[in-house]
Amino acid sequence: MQLIPVTKNNIEPYVAFRMEIADEEGQRYYATIDLGAAILAKGHDFVLLDDKGEMQAAVIISRRNRRDGSLRVMLSVETRTATSQELTTALRYVLDTENGRVATEDTCYHVFNPIKAPFLKSEMTEMGFEAIVSNYRYQREPGPPRPGEFPHADRAVEKGYRTLVIDDAYLASDPNIFEKLSDIYNRAFSNRETVSPSTPERIRKSYEAEANDIIISKFGDEVTGSITLTNLGNSVLSPQYTCMRRHWGTGSVDLMCRHMAQLVADRWNVPIIGYAEANNAASWKALERFGLTRVEGYIVWERHIPAGAKFTI
């Protein structure tokens, strides 16, 4: 086996491989974005090749320095034939490339548990990893806004907030909207270590994707927040909402989410799904306020390596 980085030289077959091994929901999502460009922009993807040079696993290895000076190494492994044994074996090959690495700072390894089949618990424990819940999946059943949902939306309307869906006519009236939304996004997630900064170009591409809509909130002429929603066919994904700090507590996010619920009900009448980090109570409590119910928790395998120690398996 050989682990090699994904570059512009092998991106096309790698994207095809990622599409092949993804589950149905993943395939629908990948179809809404320029997957190759996203992969190359991040530079975190690797591919595990067998002795014949054939792709056996898609691998992501991301290294991020945290605000406390420590390092977080996030890994994921996906294989064509998703069995627990095959996935665990592939992970061992990947971790073997880390074997003997001396941690220059306190380091935390996070290995995302595959959705199709979990890693073998006995082998993960043997390699020094501990299972923890990292994220929750939430779902709102189809239908328009219901009594009790979005409780602060009317307060926002009384204060003068309004919401709208960006279209070409609005873009003509506010040509700098993508710069504004990028600034709001980066301010909103500046303290979230797992979220990468955005750019006006990235948000424009999101707007131009057929499956996407962007809802914004405004207070007078000021854009105060946004939500992007992606139609996956049998559900709508609402990955994140943003709001400028000085507009927190106004109910404007409730108003945007109520608009989204009505829009989804009118157009497609399918469930809305969202995700929240397990340690971000404010995020998942907001989802629950908007009528979403927790349906699943996702596990990561975690291992800490103190500064000066070696990673070994």
φ, ψ of residue 118 to 5 degrees: the values are -75, 155
Q: What is the mean pLDDT of residues 238-259?
A: 91
Q: CB of 305 within 8 A of CB of 130?
A: no
* Residue 123: pLDDT over 80: yes
Q: What is the mean pLDDT of residues 115-123?
A: 89
Q: Which domains does the chain have, with CATH numbers?
A: 2-134+299-305 (3.40.630.30), 142-270 (3.40.630.30)
* Residue 30: pLDDT over 90: no
Q: What is the mean pLDDT of residues 257-286?
A: 92
Please report which confidence band the pLDDT of residue 24 belongs to, taking 50, 70 and 90 as the band edges: confident
* Residue 71: pLDDT over 80: yes
Amino acid occupying residue 244: M
Q: What is the mean pLDDT of residues 187-196?
A: 64
Give pLDDT, residue 194: 55
Give pLDDT, residue 190: 58
Please report which confidence band the pLDDT of residue 257 belongs to, taking 50, 70 and 90 as the band edges: very high
Q: Packing angle between helix 11-21 and helix 35-42, nearest 10 degrees?
A: 110
**Rounded to an integer, what distance in angstroms lies between the CA atom of residue 124 and that of residue 118?**
10
CA angle in degrees (0–180, nearest 5) for 140-141-142:
120
* Residue 265: pLDDT over 80: yes
**Rounded to an integer, what distance in angstroms lies between the CA atom of residue 249 and that of residue 266?**
28
Q: What is the mean pLDDT of residues 37-62?
A: 93
